[in-house]
């Protein structure tokens, strides 16, 4: 996480980015931390203790393994007729679709979790 923080700092300070960019990056970092807290809490509450290490390893493998695939797909998409801006719009649509799927999921809200 440190390299991303350094890049954010460099973009903000060296290029004298606007206050909106700084606020957006701060909000992004805050929401990432919030997501990680909720994700790990739910995982620890729902997964049996003897399986927790395996589940965490598989989750990390799948999520980090998708990063290079997404980078290659984004690069290929940016070199097509869509261009960079169109590729960013496709990514935005993917983020919005993922959020809508989560909002529509009723099973998540009905999990019986004792904290």
| Residue 52 maps to a domain | no
| Residue 55 maps to a domain | no
* Cβ-contact 11, 80 below 8 angstroms: no
**What is the model's pTM?**
0.57
| Residue 57 maps to a domain | no
Total number of domains in the chain: 2
| Residue 89 maps to a domain | yes
* Cβ-contact 91, 73 below 8 angstroms: no
Range of the domain at 98: 66-115
Distance CA 72, CA 32 (A): 23
pLDDT tens figures, 27-83: 989 999 999 999 899 899 889 989 999 999 999 899 888 889 989 998 999 998 889
| Residue 78 maps to a domain | yes
- 1 and 41 share a domain? yes
């Amino acid at each position: 996480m440190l390299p991303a923080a350094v890049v954010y700092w460099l973009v903000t300070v060296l290029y004298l980015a606007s206050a909106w960019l700084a606020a957006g990056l701060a909000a992004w970092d805050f929401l990432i931390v919030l997501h990680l807290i909720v994700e790990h809490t739910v995982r620890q509450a729902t997964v049996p203790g003897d399986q927790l290490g395996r589940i965490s390893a598989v989750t990390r493998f799948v999520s980090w393994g998708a990063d290079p695939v997404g980078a290659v797909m984004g690069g290929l998409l940016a070199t097509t007729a869509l261009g960079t801006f169109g590729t960013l719009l496709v990514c935005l649509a993917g983020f919005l679709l993922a959020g809508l799927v989560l909002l529509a999921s009723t099973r998540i809200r009905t999990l019986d979790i004792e904290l």
